[in-house]
Structure 1
């Protein structure tokens, strides 16, 4: 991964001072820092949206110091990085009144960072350390006004929740969070999930294959069809691929097929992964990462993910993995 900054000689210090909210609903955030880095190196401030970071500002290091100001929506999750790919960003939750101090280790993409002055970031770190023992309803009730409660519900729990559960847990969040992107997304999810529920007709889409040929979903119908959402960069997807390959090879002559939809944004990586994992079925991608049109169309919020269609194109199952996938296909084709 190409770095824009040289190897850190010392520690990078970022000082965030959050001022009063302005009439536009945003808050002026002054950011100052000291860094033992080469002149003209850059540090980036990013906004998190749809599981991706987008650069919104940058600071140039000159004579060991830098500064910039931005108007930010608060409370919100932001990223700090020296990496233009955004794949190794330091998570920083910024709220009203915070004065954050960050020691940022560029040599490890911020993973050795020390953050003070952000209770929300502290709470998020504590969640990550104990995630397996967290019960989301209790977690939200502990701090219903915390941006972290909304983020954890959206990012880690909503992909596996029913429309009814999403509505119930979202109702536990404080009204002060209604304007945040996570609560807005959570409120929109139930209606979309119901429109793509089991028993509904699968919406059509068309995307290019690696060779540029356009493949349309409706042209793949006539068999039990698994729409398999994956990506070359997704470790769990790559570990599940051998299982899908095995089931495909076993039942491809008995009325079962697969259509792969990649959430990659790098064509070379996508093509290499198809070859390495020996994925013999049709593959398509718009190379838009989490902005993948089919992923949004089918409400895919985590990968690996899949949707199983009957020969007429009706949705009959979702997110089948491992032995569960084979048992389902065997019961249908036999």
Structure 2
């Protein structure tokens, strides 16, 4: 749930092209001890792998003030990060928009307020600022529930679990209310995308049709339409693992054909996933105990980039074939297997169809050895 809540304060918006107009983001930092540079970074990651590519501009902080002028091709989320610190926040940049920020930073918290932009009035002032205290409480309740469960106190664990769920649901309903209240904003479109199940099909269809051209033709609107109305039909047509699209380490299209006739373990993982990597020795042990003519392992990376994936392979040197879904967590295979976390293990039969799509990583070897030998 924590990972899901990141969306509340870090939302990625990729919108359709509109006329390129100069966008201005300027602000005041209310902390006399902060100086140096502030970075304007495309996207929501304040510390991206490819910083040179992602950093759009930098501005010198002078007397607590900074200013950016640039021409985004479309509406998008940008991260502002004070260089050589862990202080960062996010803002929506619209072509031609002028946003003024007041950024208060102290030892206890970092808080930002926006003026001059209707979009950031909703995104910064109403979604981030009003949502942040609730997010903190939700995470605190979740941690408390886990702590009391570990201590064996089921009463207190249940109490904090209920508190966690109540405030989590309340936060979602608040974002949905904002989306209904001002539907023509980019942040509202993103809420419809992220909390899709809370909006009826008929509303979503009508909503997408009534959007202005710049929004209706955006990549985000197209993604909503695809995932809501087209993807379910495509998933219904999937008959075996061979029906999914992947690339190999040479960036060529992967073919499942050579694996037909074998029992295959699919290992969904990512280079940043510690539990995934911790289980690699168990997979090595399993491979050593089975006939390679009868059994194979295929790793499917859900890394966000080829760079991160290949760097992980060079570092870890797994002894089995590795492929990647270039759409990562937005890929069709993730939706098909309803993958919410990794590692995730799926066992396929000799015809590529699913035998078991939720193997326990702790009993992986025993289950597969029994299946293969039987």
CA contact (8 A) 1:170 1:183 kept: no
How much does 1:295 deviate?
6.6
Residue 271 of structure 1 is matched in structure 2 by 314
How much does 1:58 deviate?
0.9
Q: Which of the pair has more CA radius of gyration?
A: 2
Which of 14, 19, 23 in structure 2 is aligned with 1:29?
23
CA contact (8 A) 1:224 1:310 kept: yes
Structure showing the higher strand proportion among its residues: 1
Residue 46 of structure 1 is matched in structure 2 by 42
Which of 165, 169, 181 in structure 2 is aligned with 1:134?
169
CA gap 1:222/1:249 in 2 versus in 1, 3 angstroms: farther
CA contact (8 A) 2:175 2:191 kept: no
Per-residue deviation, residues 110-146 of structure 1 (Å, max 9, x unmatched): x954210233234145174448522798456423326
Residue 275 of structure 2 is matched in structure 1 by 239
What pairs with 1:85-124 in structure 2 (closer than 5 Å)?
Answer: 90-93=89-92, 99-103=99-103, 113-117=110-114, 118-121=121-124, 122-124=126-128
**1:185 correspondence with 2:223:** yes
**Partner SS state of residue 219, structure 1:** helix
Query: Structure 2-normalised TM-score?
Result: 0.53
Instruction: Structure 1: give runs of 5+ residues left out of the alignment.
Output: 1-22, 286-290
What pairs with 1:132-211 in structure 2 (closer than 5 Å)?
Answer: 132=165, 133-134=168-169, 138=173, 141-143=176-178, 144=180, 145=183, 147-152=186-191, 154=193, 170-171=204-205, 175-176=210-211, 178-189=216-227, 190-197=229-236, 199-200=239-240, 201-203=242-244, 205-208=246-249
Query: Structure 1-normalised TM-score?
Result: 0.58
Instruction: Structure 2: give runs of 5+ residues left out of the alignment.
Output: 1-16, 115-120, 139-163
**Partner SS state of residue 243, structure 2:** coil
RMSD: 5.2
Separation of aligned partners in 1, 2:203 and 2:364: 29
How much does 1:282 deviate?
2.7
Per-residue deviation, residues 17-41 of structure 1 (Å, max 9, x unmatched): xxxxxx9456642123467534xx4
Per-residue deviation, residues 225-269 of structure 1 (Å, max 9, x unmatched): 233332222xxx322454576477458638553211332524444
Per-residue deviation, residues 283-326 of structure 1 (Å, max 9, x unmatched): 345xxxxx826776644376525665432234566566657978
How many correspondences in the alignment?
Answer: 284
CA contact (8 A) 2:24 2:99 kept: no
Separation of aligned partners in 2, 1:136 and 1:199: 38
Separation of aligned partners in 2, 1:316 and 1:26: 52
Which deviates the most, 295-304 or 252-261? 295-304
Per-residue deviation, residues 43-87 of structure 1 (Å, max 9, x unmatched): 2242469xx897373134275655332334676432223569xx9
**Partner SS state of residue 208, structure 1:** coil
CA gap 1:293/1:186 in 2 versus in 1, 3 angstroms: closer
**Partner SS state of residue 220, structure 2:** helix
CA contact (8 A) 1:101 1:115 kept: yes
**1:228 correspondence with 2:267:** yes
